[in-house]
């Protein structure tokens, strides 16, 4: 799978609306055949930082995502709400789902 984590620093005036600003993009991405997950979180330390954790079945699914119309729309629609270019970690990992964190096993 292609595993991606991106950090978005959102302008203070857009922070409260960020879930709605990204809703259409998020829903369209989650509906893609090769999308495994596409989940937003908000930093506990910086209320203007949102973290996107996403995964795609393989490189072809990732390429389809980047080539989609909703991705192109997001390229135009999202930057005016951002403080800076998002930071990203992208890598290829084995599997298609989350593994269990054995060090914190729950019986």
- Condensed to tens digits (0 to 9), the pLDDT of residues 55-85 reads 999 999 999 999 999 999 999 999 999 999 9
Q: How far apart are CA 87 and CA 48, in angstroms?
A: 14
Q: Give the pTM.
A: 0.92
pLDDT computed for residue 107 by the predictor = 86
- pLDDT score of 103: 94
Tell me how far apart the terminal alpha carbons of the chain are, to the nearest angstrom: 29
Q: Are 92 and 59 in contact (CB under 8 A)?
A: yes
Of the candidate ranges 9-13, 25-29, 64-68, 95-99, the one whose mean pLDDT is the lowest: 95-99
Specify the DSSP class assigned to residue 55.
E
User: What's the confidence (pLDDT) of residue 33?
Assistant: 96
Question: Is residue 59 within 8 Å of 2, Cβ to Cβ?
Answer: yes
């Amino acid at each position: 799978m292609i595993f991606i984590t991106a950090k978005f620093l959102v302008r203070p005036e857009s922070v409260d609306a960020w879930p709605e600003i990204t809703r259409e993009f998020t829903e369209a991405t989650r509906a893609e055949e090769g999308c495994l997950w596409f989940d937003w979180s908000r930093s506990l330390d910086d209320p203007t930082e949102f973290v996107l954790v996403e995964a795609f079945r393989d490189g072809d699914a990732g390429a389809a995502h980047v080539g989609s119309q909703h991705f192109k729309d997001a390229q135009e629609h999202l930057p005016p709400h951002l403080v800076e270019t998002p930071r990203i970690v992208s890598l290829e990992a084995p599997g298609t789902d989350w593994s269990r964190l054995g060090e914190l096993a729950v019986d």
